[in-house]
Amino acid sequence: MFPLKDNLPTQNLPVVTILLIALNVIAYLILQPKSGIDFSGASLDQNALFHYGAVPYELTHLGAHCEVVHNGADVTCAKGVPDGGIATVLTLFTAMFTHAGLFHLGGNMLFLWIFGNNVEDSMGRVRFVIFYLLGGLAATALQVAMGPDDIVPTLGASGAVAGVLGGYILLHPRAKILTLVFVIFFFTILELPAIIFLGVWFAQQALFGALNLTNPTGDGGGVAYFAHIGGFAFGLLAIKLFARRRNALTTPRSLAS
């Protein structure tokens, strides 16, 4: 399922949401080293992903640094930060703006735009920045806790965006989400209540995360499901502390427009 838009207008211009989207796009297109732009991310500089991503092993073995060797065939971890490296703690933040491909970036930004503007409207700009970053940190924390010795970098905005989704589902459970639904080779467009759309999304993350645990040597698709779960849980728990109003509930717009 892919969201296309919701039916809740905002009372204020979502400046922070727009800025976050811009920063993610700039980071991917300009700042991340790559040999060429590729939808799958295969042409990205793999060392750059380790450089900016949050590597669980580095976070649980302070002073260690992991990098790609043998032309990408292996990963080695050793003590010390190499020349031009960044402190491990900073990767907790740079990882939120690093993506593995255009599809990865585009999907995260689509969710952030549709759900982030209303959550930002409910708490204001400064609170939303703090909420978003804390959601990303909570996401990384759970992912690291589930695999403290993993040497695969955790990266992308999806953990922080999951925090936004957790807040949205409590603020606007009855909001309508125009949704593109794929069924094998066919697709349709439905209007789904937010509680259904986001509930199904979270159930998928929990299911796939559990399958990864029961089959740790299987192909997890490179998705940090526990980061999504951690971010979503943070949003559920923290939204009432951050939100000041439930915006735009009295004037939903038609999704047909």
Please report where in the chains the tokens 């695999």 appear, as a residue.
147
Distances (CA, A) of 91 to 84, 133, 155: 14, 13, 9
Q: For residue 141, is pLDDT > 70?
A: yes
pLDDT at position 68 is 79
Q: Residues 2-20: pLDDT tens digits?
A: 899 999 999 999 999 999 9
| Nearest alpha carbon to residue 49 among 80, 26, 75, 23 | 75
In sequence order, the 6+-apart residues with CB closer than 8 A to the CB of 13 are none
* Stronger pLDDT, 255 or 13, i.e. the higher one: 13
| Residues 169-220: tens digit of each pLDDT | 999 999 999 999 887 778 889 999 999 999 999 999 999 988 877 554 344 4
Separation CA 154–CA 95 (nearest Å): 7
Task: Report the interhelical angle of 125-146 vs 225-242 (nearest 10°).
Answer: 150
More confidently predicted of 40 and 181? 181
What confidence score (pLDDT) does residue 83 get?
Answer: 52
Distance CA 151, CA 154 (A): 9
Between 32 and 167, whose confidence is greater? Answer: 167
What integer is the mean pLDDT of 237-246?
88
249 has a pLDDT exceeding 50: no
The answer to whether 172 and 194 have CB atoms below 8 angstroms apart is yes
CATH code matching the domain that covers 2-242, chosen among 1.20.1540.10, 3.50.50.60, 3.20.20.10, 3.40.720.10 = 1.20.1540.10
Residue 181, amino acid:
V
What is the chain's mean pLDDT, rounded? 86
